[in-house]
Amino acid sequence: MTDAQNPDYDPDLYLASASPRRAEILERMGVRFRCIPQAVDEQVQTGETPEVFVFRLALEKARAGLAGLDAGRAVPVLGADTAVVVDDDILGKPGDRDEAMAMLARLSGRTHRVLTGIAMVDGQRELTRLSLSMVTLRPIAAVEQAAYWQSGEPLDKAGAYAIQGRGGVFVEQLEGSYSGVMGLPMVETHDLLAEFGIDYQSRWPAGQ
């Protein structure tokens, strides 16, 4: 258990996600939190743009998390959603090897967008932020795609790759937020924390 998730602490917020990457980023920031994962329908709605899609899911996760808390709790809930977008198509998590191979082949040697929408709610306010990054992958040979699939990493990753993992060897260029591509942009998260009056930085240890 990390210090930020210690049950003896009063949390700064609840994280409506089971993502270890989002938890890692909050921990790195020094935010005290507890995870309350939420399952929502992640199907793209007809005519929905990628921006609207990530905002909607982030809000739905945050709202669902808030609804599951005891009445009277004043701690906000943070939701987030990330989409890999190429040719205006949203690439979700691959369901099998064939889908993963198709996604990696489509992204190979090209630049794509990564959008992460975040939302924080407390029953009184609902605030959102958007992170947009441009990621260029080098050409990925079929044998590399197969080896990457065998590693197990692509299965639960949007776009079938993880920039913070083995998939980082495919990333040729990044314009934007590294943490946003991971799933929780630090700058935008800080902005929401400030809006809700959460001064997590005052607890940063001196000399570290």
Which residues are tagged catalytic? Answer: 81
142 neighbors 123 (Cβ within 8 angstroms): no
140 neighbors 111 (Cβ within 8 angstroms): no
CA 131 – CA 115 distance, rounded (Å): 6
Coil vs helix vs strand at 89: strand
Instruction: Characterize the bridge pairing of strands 13-15 and 77-86.
Output: parallel
- The dihedral built from the CA positions of residue 15, 20, 25 and 30, taken in this order, carries a sign that is positive
